[in-house]
Amino acid sequence: MLGIAYGMGSLVRQVVQSFTEDYSPITSKPVPAGTEYLSVKALGAQMSRPGGLTSADLVTCLQERISSVDPRLGSVIELNPEALETARELDRERASGNVRGPLHGIPILLKDTIETTGMQTSAGAFGLIGAPAGKNAPLVDYLIRQGAVILGKTNMTELAGFRGGPAGWSSRGGQTLNPHQPQADVGGSSSGSAAAVAAGLAPLAVGAETSGSIIVPAARNGVVGLKPSVGLLDRNGMIPASQRQDTPGPMARSVFDVALMLNAMSGSDPQDPASVGAPQGIDYTALLVPGALKGKRIGYPATFSKNGESLSVENSPQFSRTLEVLREQGAILVPVNLRMADDSRYGELLFSDVKEELNGYLGKRPGLPVKSLTELIEFNEERDGNAEDHQPLLKEISASTLTPEQRKPLWDTLIEDFRSSIDDPIQSENLDAMVSDFETNSYFAVAAAGYPGISVPSGRDEDGVPTSAYFFGSRWSEPTLLAVAHGYEEAAQVAIKPAL
C-alpha cells in the first residue's frame, strides 16, 4: 500500500513541477537570496519601494522553489493556476495606491480540507477528488479580501488522520517529510502546511485542527502554529470531523505573522453555537510589544510524564531553559499541578461525531465519486485492494453506533471536565497563561476543551530536530497568548531553518 502511495505522491509532485515550469514567466526578475524566508512585514516593505519586489516576482520565486525543493519534501499537493495573475492584479492595485492591508500580495498555502474555488478539496483522499468546490470557504474569501494570494494546497495526513496511517501520509500526495530531518516525525495532520512554511515554500499557511493537528506539526517542523478557541473563526467550507473541536488556524515562521493572519482570517459564523461570545474587531498584533512578559503570571506543570515516569522540570533541560527565558523577561512563574480529565470515552465520542459529520458533508458536496463513508471505504478497497487493512480507523468510525442524543450529555460532561482542568489553576493562581513542554501532551486537553494554544520553536534536541514551547489559556485568551508567545520568541531567538 505504501509503495502505491509513494508512487502516486511522486506523480503528483511531477505535475506540480511541470506546472511551475510551464507557468513561470520569463519576464519576472530574480529575487535576492533569502527572500523566501523574509517576514510578512519585510516583504511588504520591499513591495512598497518603487522598483522593488513585486508580488508576481515573489509568487514566481516560490513556484520555482516548490518545483526544485518539494519533490524531496512532498508538502504541496496542488498549485493554484490563478496565483500569478492574481499577484499581477494586486501589483497593479499597489501601483495605483490601493493597499488592502499587511497581507497585500503575500502568498499563502491552504490545507487540503479548506474549500477553494477552482481547486480540489480532498483531504488527501482520492475518493474526494472530483468537481472543485462551488465556492471558497469564508476564511479564504477573508484572506483574499485582505490581498493574500492563494498559492496552492498542502498535503496532509489523509482525512485528518481518520483513515489511519503514518503522520503526513495521504494516498493522493504521498508522504510529507520533515525538512529538518527526513527520518523525523513530521506531525499531523497539517503536515504539509508546517513543512512548507519551514522549508521557505510560502511565508504563511492555514492549518486546521481537531486534536493536535496544528500544534503537533508546527512543533515538529520548527514553526509557529496557533490553534484558536473553537468558534473564534468561521468553520464553514471545511471538510469536518467534529464541530465540537474543529477549527482552522494560522501557521507561520513568527508569532507576529501568525497574529497578522489571525487578523485577516477573523470573522465568526453567527449560526455557529460555538461562536456565541466570540470577540470581534480585535487587532491581534496590538499587544505584541517589548516588555510584554514583565509581570505576567505564567503557570507551568510542576512535573511531567516521560515513559510513564513522573519527573520534575529539572529533568527536561529544554523546558528548563524555556522557563529561564520567561523568568529573565520578568514573568512570574507559578508551578501548578495539572489535573488530568477523564478521557476514557473521548475516542468513542469523537469517532461517532466524525461518522455523522463526514457522512453529512459527503452527502451534500456535489461532483465527488463517493456520497457516504460506506462508499468511501468501498472506493478505497476497490482502488487499493483489500489484502491488508489500509483504512482501520475509517472502518472503526463507520462502525460507530452512538446516536446524537446519546453523545450530547457525554460530550457536555467531558468538555466541562477538560475546561475545568485548565480554568481551575488559571483562576486559583490568577494566571495570565500556562506554558508546558510540548512532550507533556497538554495540547490534547486544550483541544478537548476547545481552548486556544500556540506552539513556538524553542531550539533543537540532541538529534537536531526542532523542539517547542507550548502556551495555552482559557477561552478567547488569544490576545494575551500571542503577547506572551511573542515575548518569549523575541527573547529566546531560536528561529531555525532546515538544512534541506
> Of the listed 170, 171, 190, 213, which one is catalytic?
213
> Of the listed 28, 67, 75, 189, which one is catalytic?
189
Dihedral (Cα; 279, 113, 361, 349), 10-degree rounding: -70
> By C-alpha distance, which of 122, 103, 98 is closest to 170?
122
Question: Cα–Cα distance between 120 and 134 in angstroms, integer?
Answer: 10
211 is catalytic: no
Neighbouring C-beta atoms of residue 164, cutoff 10 Å:
18
Residue corresponding to grid cell 484558536:
228
Write the DSSP string, 65-109: HHHHHHHHH--EEEE-TTHHHHHHHHHHHHHTT---STTTT-EEE
75 is catalytic: no
Q: Pull the grid cell for residue 31.
A: 529575487
**Ranges assigned E (strand) in 212-277:** 224-227, 247-252
Residue corresponding to grid cell 520553536:
457
Residue 476 exposure: Cα atoms within 13 Å on the Cβ side: 11
Q: Pull the grid cell for residue 469.
A: 514551547
**Strand pairing partners for 298?**
333, 433
**Ranges assigned E (strand) in 171-257:** 174-175, 204-209, 224-227, 247-252
Question: Cα–Cα distance between 210 and 227 in angstroms, integer?
Answer: 9
Residue corresponding to grid cell 492574481:
86
> Of the listed 55, 75, 111, 474, which one is catalytic?
111
Determine the length of the chain.
500
> By C-alpha distance, which of 174, 166, 206 is closest to 190?
206
41 is catalytic: no
Query: Which residues are the active-site residues?
Result: 111, 189, 213
